[in-house]
Chains A and B, each alone.
Chain A
């Protein structure tokens, strides 16, 4: 009887250890919070309204880069909106960034291609 009780207690403890959700895969992120970014349809305005100021602009502003903090619960926080957490100084610090989104626009300001790069596991 005591052994059964011990097993139940141990089971509860182990379940508690596993309470944190697994880190989402790139596919889950692309189909979840980033599903609005679609090559050929999403506009520059859509992207900027969602992510705010990009952290990098290249070839004029044809290519934009966004540093993102994506949680295990799939909440996306752009670097531009968490100024207290991120340090945008000249040392190139990537504090808190879990992913980077690189977006290439065509001449009509529509997303031509994009790529999500994982920097570290979501927290």
Chain B
């Protein structure tokens, strides 16, 4: 529900900005692409491809924890771990000028990453999979992380397709 509200808010703001751009006497939109970086410096835990590449089926739960650190969520007696992190890939800076006023802002394209992994009864890594979804935020203060409920939904789907 919160995520839907957030997406609605972002969509509404984008529409407002687009409308404003049409009405304004001057509007500047500058997209700035960059490599994936943590979306918020205060919440900067992110797994790198190099870290994920170290995973292999022979690893124990202990080795995974020593390699990747504490997961964000875990279930089923620690048989399933979920790591999730939010990265930014693109910033769109916009400035609108109308007679007598000037205003602007920053729209941030986000990528929510989730890494799910499952251990067998002996605590050996059985399988893992990484998921990503896109979203947007209005500046750094608006960056939110996916909620536990969304990761839980992903996990349910993943379990039903798993071997």
Contact = CB atoms under 8 A, between A and B. Distances in A.
Sorting the interface of chain B by its residue count into under 10, 10 to 19, 20 to 34 or 35 or more gives 20 to 34
Contacts of A63: 61-62, 65
B65 A102 contact: yes
Contacts, number: 62
A104 B70 contact: no
Contacts of B68: 117
A104 B72 contact: no
Contacts of B43: 93-95
A90 B41 CA distance: 19
Given A65-B70, A115-B66, A120-B44, 15 more contacts: A58-B62, A59-B78, A59-B123, A65-B65, A67-B70, A90-B147, A91-B147, A94-B43, A95-B42, A95-B43, A97-B45, A100-B45, A104-B62, A117-B69, A120-B38
Interface of A: 55-56, 58-59, 63, 65, 67, 90-97, 100, 102, 104, 113, 115, 117, 119-120
18 contacts: A55-B70, A56-B71, A58-B61, A59-B62, A63-B65, A65-B65, A67-B70, A90-B147, A90-B148, A92-B148, A94-B45, A96-B42, A97-B45, A100-B45, A100-B70, A102-B69, A120-B41, A120-B45
